[in-house]
Structure 1
Amino acid sequence: MKRVLLSWSSGKDSAWALHALRRRPDVELVGLLTTFNEAAGRVAMHAVRRALVEAQAEAAGLPLTAVMLPQPCTNEAYERRMKDAIAAARSEGVTHMAFGDLFLEDIRAYRVRLLDGSGVGPLFPIWTSREETPALAAAMLAAGIEAVLTCVDSRQLDPGFVGRPFDAALLADLPEGVDPCGERGEFHTFCRRCPAFSTEIAVTPGEVVVRDGFHFADLVPA
């Protein structure tokens, strides 16, 4: 039996990984791990409030490990704090860490390297190919995943998409070349409903903030 800690971004891919892991008989999920900007108290890149991530963890019935990152955060500082968190997890019996990555080989290689020598093995439960992400996005929706776009990279996607629900209409509106799961960083999401949640996390898109070409919708509890 693998005792698994799931890297949790608060988005739909993390939620789909949670759903996939819950269906595996060889896995015992022991918790979620999220990195937060310690100054803002929000998820890095997604800019989701910590309280909403805590609500997701409660809905999933899992404890949340918060890794606080300085602002600005160098890669060295990120790796040091992550390795400390991984070592602590290993001391508590965690054998594997799972990630919701889909097809970016360089990201996968980085995750593997970060865990190398820690005694914690990597898992990629929803790994697929770039050709299969349209079908994957459709499967998420069919299974009941509901999410909201919290961040849009305006260099890859029109900022008008921020705050929109991740649904069939959005997928139909995405321009050619944009991955339907946003795997190349075109957009990031917050998952409000998931088969692995006991309840929906009700949110409303609020103020939109622009930083360095990224448009963030501030999600507030509804």
Structure 2
Amino acid sequence: MTAQQNTVLSWSGGKDAAYALLELPHVTELLTTVSENGRSSMHGVRRELYDAQAEALGIPIRYVELPMECSNEEYAARMASVVDEYEARGIERIAFADLYLEDIRAYRKERLAETTIEGCWPVWNPDTDEQIRSFLDAGFRATVVTVDGGTLDASFAGRELDEAFLADLPEEVDPCGENGEFHTFVWDGPTFDSPLSVDVGETVTRAVGDGEFHYCDLY
């Protein structure tokens, strides 16, 4: 891995992606997906908040817009089109902030296998207790924007990810939320020029598949 490699970072706006940015020598662009309603399909974060992050980080951001009801085939086709464009631009790596979900990593490798672009996992396979401490010790600050109602109640949404939040997590919940228990939005840290001004709005509960998720709106 050389400092001259042109790298795109798959960007969720959350804690793992923000920490991965610390580990990467040269990021050309952030890449994220948003639904046609202008929000992240997984986190429910508004597009303008991602714009604010990118500005504070000093890195351009690229959006892939997805239909509200997006099939796996449509998702793969739209992402493949972007990867083709990156290959033509000379992008050498796409970095992902996955921690330990091997099936997701294998899927990403498969999608890149027929291209000249390498996959990169700068925060792969950590001890997640140590990883979340490293995140907080580095000076990052984040708000919990989504929680899985099957593992956490709605009161966890909208809280700052801090020591008190971690202390309140049930023992069976991964402290990094790597199994989808919760998702975050980072608004300050060592890679930010200045903190973002973020207001916490209402929390709503929506059915997703066979479960339900609690979403806290940020402004």
TM-score tier after normalising by the smaller chain length: over 0.9
CA deviation after TM superposition for structure 1 residue 89, in Å? 1.3
- What pairs with 1:206-217 in structure 2 (closer than 5 Å)? 206-212=201-207, 213-217=212-216
CA deviation after TM superposition for structure 1 residue 194, in Å? 1.9
Task: Indicate the residue corresponding to 1:78 in structure 2.
Answer: 75
Q: Are the counterparts in 1 of residues 154 and 203 from structure 2 also a CA contact under 8 Å?
A: no
2:107 to 92, 102, 110: 110
Distance 2:141 2:157 in 1: 15
2:177 is the alignment partner of 1:171: no
1:7 to 2, 6, 10: 10
2:23 is the alignment partner of 1:28: no
Aligned amino acid, residue 17 of structure 1 = A
1:191 to 174, 181, 186: 186
Distance 2:125 2:189 in 1: 20
Distance 1:31 1:199 in 2: 19
CA deviation after TM superposition for structure 1 residue 28, in Å? 2.3
The range that moved more, 191-200 or 5-14, is 191-200
CA deviation after TM superposition for structure 1 residue 93, in Å? 1.4
Distance 1:163 1:177 in 2: 21
Runs of 4 or more consecutive aligned structure 1 residues displaced over 2 Å after TM superposition: none
Task: Indicate the residue corresponding to 1:24 in structure 2.
Answer: none
2:153 is the alignment partner of 1:155: no
Task: Indicate the residue corresponding to 2:133 in structure 1.
Answer: 138
**TM-score, structure 1 normalization:** 0.93
2:60 is the alignment partner of 1:57: no
CA deviation after TM superposition for structure 1 residue 116, in Å? 1.5
2:90 is the alignment partner of 1:93: yes
Task: Indicate the residue corresponding to 2:65 in structure 1.
Answer: 68
Question: Structure 1: where are the runs of 5+ without partners?
Answer: 22-26
Distance 2:174 2:205 in 1: 22
Task: Indicate the residue corresponding to 1:121 in structure 2.
Answer: 118
Task: Indicate the residue corresponding to 1:219 in structure 2.
Answer: 218
CA deviation after TM superposition for structure 1 residue 172, in Å? 0.8
Distance 2:98 2:196 in 1: 23
Aligned amino acid, residue 185 of structure 2 = F
CA deviation after TM superposition for structure 1 residue 102, in Å? 0.3
Distance 2:140 2:23 in 1: 12
Describe the superposition over 1:170-189 as per-residue Cα deviations: whole angstroms up to 9, x where unpaired.
11110011000100000000
Aligned amino acid, residue 94 of structure 2 = M
**TM-score, structure 2 normalization:** 0.94
Question: Structure 2: where are the runs of 5+ without partners?
Answer: none
Distance 2:105 2:189 in 1: 24
Describe the superposition over 1:141-174 as per-residue Cα deviations: whole angstroms up to 9, x where unpaired.
0100100000000101122100000001111110
